[in-house]
């Protein structure tokens, strides 16, 4: 049995899991707010989709890691370590970005003028997933 693709599977799975949880958290907030306000629903739906980007990081890393393992430049054991820890960082970033998006949805429903400003915090949380992604690219 070949276990060489466990690492790439881990990074993809954790990235997608985090995105699903983060989008779910923000989506629930979006539904609650949309039931109370008459306009701006598209903005709330857009905010709830922001944590989905972390699944893309996991997907790209899965492809690059599997190619590196097949080429012999990355050992399967290193792939597991990289996949787990980078995937965990990406997952946690997505979950907290979803929580941050939920509060952005709630705040901008009360004060629509602050909508654009709420993206600053979302970007800061996203940056940690991006750091993990870039650092993984440097070592695979």
Domains and CATH numbers, the chain: 11-139 (1.20.120.610)
Q: What is the pLDDT of residue 1?
A: 62
Percent residues over pLDDT 90 in the chain: 85
Rounded-to-integer distance, Cα 11 and Cα 139, Å: 14
Q: What is the pLDDT of residue 39?
A: 81
Single out the residue of 138, 135, 3, 1 nearest to residue 69, CA to CA: 3
Range 101-130 average pLDDT: 94
Rounded-to-integer distance, Cα 43 and Cα 30, Å: 9
In whole angstroms, how far apart are CA 87 and each of 56, 68, 98? 12, 17, 17
| pLDDT 10s digits, 7-37 | 999 999 999 999 999 999 999 999 989 888 8
> Any idea which of 22-26, 39-43, 79-83 has the lowest mean pLDDT?
39-43
Range 56-64 average pLDDT: 97
Rounded-to-integer distance, Cα 61 and Cα 80, Å: 12
C-alpha torsion angle, residues 66, 88, 135, 24 (rounded to 10): 90
The tokens describing 92, both together, are 């946690």
Q: What is the pLDDT of residue 2?
A: 82
The tokens describing 80, both together, are 């597991």
- Does residue 68 register a pLDDT over 90? yes
Q: Which of 2-6, 21-25, 43-47 has the highest mean pLDDT?
A: 21-25
Q: What is the pLDDT of residue 35?
A: 86
Percent residues over pLDDT 70 in the chain: 99
Is the pTM higher than 0.95? The answer reads no
């Amino acid at each position: 049995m070949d276990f060489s693709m466990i690492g790439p599977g881990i990074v993809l799975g954790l990235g997608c899991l985090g995105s699903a949880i983060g989008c779910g958290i923000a989506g629930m907030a979006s539904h609650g707010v949309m039931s109370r306000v008459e306009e701006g629903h598209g903005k709330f739906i857009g905010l709830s989709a922001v944590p989905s980007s972390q699944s893309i990081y996991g997907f790209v890393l899965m492809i690059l890691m599997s190619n590196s393992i097949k080429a012999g430049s990355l050992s399967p054991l290193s792939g597991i370590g990289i996949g787990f820890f980078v995937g965990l960082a990406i997952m946690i970033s997505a979950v907290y970005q979803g929580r941050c998006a939920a509060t952005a949805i709630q705040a901008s429903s009360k004060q629509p003028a602050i909508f654009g400003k709420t993206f600053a915090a979302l970007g800061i949380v996203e940056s940690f997933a991006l750091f993990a992604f870039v650092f993984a690219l440097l070592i695979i």
